[in-house]
Structure formats: C-alpha cells, structure tokens
Amino acid sequence: MALNVSPLTLGTSGLGRGTEPGSREEEAAVDVAEQLFASTHAFIDTSNNYADGRSEAVLGRAIARLGADAATRVISKVDADPVTGAFDRDRVLRSFDETTARLGVDRLPLLHLHDPFTVTFDEAIGRGGAVEGLIELRESGRVGAIGVAAGPAPLMARYVDTGVFDAVLVHNRFTVVDQSAEPVFAAARELGMTVFNAAPFGAGILAPGARAGAMYAYRPAPPALQEWVARLERVCAAHGVPLAAVALDFSVRSPLVDSTIVGISSARRLAQLDELAATTIPAEVWAELEALGPAPSPVDDSAYA
C-alpha cells in the first residue's frame, strides 16, 4: 500500500522531553506541535518510546485542540516493553493501545515495528511474534498500513524481503556520508513499499559541519570523516549553498525515497527546514561531491549481516 506522503515528514523524537503534564514547558511543546500540524508537510512521525511517551502525549493535546484533520496525520511506532524488553504480539497490541490513548485517536494511517533488537528476526516474524500483532492491527482496520523502522541495513533487508510490510524507515544509512541503505530502498521500491529516509544530516555533522564534538549516527565523528566533510563544506561554499541544504537535497531528490524525515523541536527549526528545502542546489555540486570519493563512514552493521 503506497501512502500519500509529502517530500518531508516531521520527526518529533525530542518533542515534550522532560516536560510535566500541565506545566508551562508542556504548553510550549504543545504550541510547537500545533505549528507542525499547521505546516504543509503531510505527516508527523513519533513513537511509543519517544521522550518516554511525552512526544505522543504532547501531540495528543494538540490533536484535541485542532480536531479531525490533525488526528489523521500522525505516524507512530510500536516499541519493546521498556522494563522487560518483551516484543511479541501481545506487546505490540499493548504498545498500540498506549499510543492511541496518548494521541486520543482510534486509528493510525501507519504503524511501524520500531528497533526490534530485543528479539531475533525469527522470533519477530514467527508465530505469536511482533509482526503477527502488526498484521492483526492492519487486518482489523485499526491501522491503515504497517512498516518497519530501524538503522542496520542488513537487518532491514531481511524484514523488507518478507513482503509483509507496506513501508520501511531507515536512518543514517542514506546520506552523503553513507549509502548502505540503497539496496534496501531499491528492494522496497520493487515491492511497492513506501520508503522513509530518516536523519539526512547524519544526526549531527551534516548540519553544522566539521567541528569539535561533531557526531555521525549518534557517535563522535572520527578525524577522517571530519576532514571529508570539511572538503564538502568547501565545495558548498564555492557554490554559495549551505552544507545542510545539500545533505537534505541528497535524500529528497533520490528516486528511491518517498519522504525524508527530519527531527523538529521548535518553530525556528521548522522555518529553517523549509528554507533549506527551498534552496536550489547547482548541478555542479553533485559532480564535485562525486569527485570527493566515498566518505569514511563510521557505521558498522556487520553484526547484522
């Protein structure tokens, strides 16, 4: 099932983090959520475990204010039990119930299996496993489509190859630094799945550029990657475009990607994202990027091969 997505999907992993119900901080987060819903972007992406459930709770308060249209625009994910690590059919159904209660909705357009690392692949797809729970939710009409969302490309390839899912979401594996998700996305395309690419900035370095403390895929960027990104920054500067705009457009322009997910935590960040998305990248930038050669990606998914 192909979803009617827009080029960008707004991520909310940090929305509401550390806030208390009824606090001024929560109210500020709800204001941000309302601005996300007021944007032209089709979907807002959250998860059962984002900000310990506060992301969904804040979005739920915004939905209560805004009404039916907002209620159809949230994508979420089921997560393993935070205490026991259980991630079977029953946990999927409980996770879904927790999510819909926080959001104040009865149905979701898309529900992902999120980071299935506490169970084996065989356990997840076997009898009584997490995937069985997702299929049950889809067949009952409580979700319109099901997907799988995680990082390691070899693991994601196995889930995609089952042919069970309607969508796939991979993060930090399809950027100017690392394209290891390319075969996963190509296989998903062949199956008619909707493809989400998350973290086009590598969760760090491709937004601010090479500098002390820069991160890639939630790890410190090693010196070789810092040097490669610094060379890319010089290419961008020579053509008068921001590094972040090039990093974003790398994903948005790809025929393999239906929607690129970018985390947004404030109205200012949303405005910056829209500005980056409107930036025209000269064709010469892509040729010079190619000439830099492969980036020394620090991502190592060999444990999942």
pLDDT tens across 231-277, in order?
A: 999 999 999 999 999 999 999 999 999 999 999 989 999 999 999 99
Distance CA(58)–CA(26), nearest Å, equals: 7
Q: Which of 5, 4, 8, 3 is nearest to 249 (CA)?
A: 8
Distance CA(65)–CA(229), nearest Å, equals: 43
Predicted TM-score (pTM) of the model is 0.96
Mean pLDDT of 83-101: 98
Q: pLDDT of 211-230, one tens digit each?
A: 888 989 888 999 999 999 99
> Has residue 299 got a pLDDT over 90?
yes
> Has residue 67 got a pLDDT over 80?
yes
What pLDDT sits at residue 2? 64
Q: Let me know if residue 3 belongs to a domain.
A: no
Q: pLDDT of 109-142, one tens digit each?
A: 999 999 999 999 999 999 999 999 999 999 999 9
Q: Let me know if residue 304 belongs to a domain.
A: no
Q: Let me know if residue 302 belongs to a domain.
A: no
Give the pLDDT band (50/70/90) at residue 203. Answer: confident
Q: pLDDT of 156-198, one tens digit each?
A: 999 999 999 999 999 999 999 999 999 999 999 999 999 999 9
Task: List CB contacts of 261: < 8 A, sequence separation 6 or more.
Answer: 8, 9, 10, 11, 45, 169, 171, 196, 197, 198, 199
Q: Let me know if residue 109 belongs to a domain.
A: yes
In the chain, how many domains are there?
Answer: 1
Q: Residue 74 is part of which domain span?
A: 8-297
Residue 185 CB: number of other CB atoms within 10 A?
Answer: 26
Q: Let me know if residue 270 belongs to a domain.
A: yes
Residue 75: give its domain's CATH number.
3.20.20.100
What pLDDT sits at residue 204? 87
Neighbouring-strand partners of residue 44: 10, 74
Structure token pair of residue 16: 């509401």
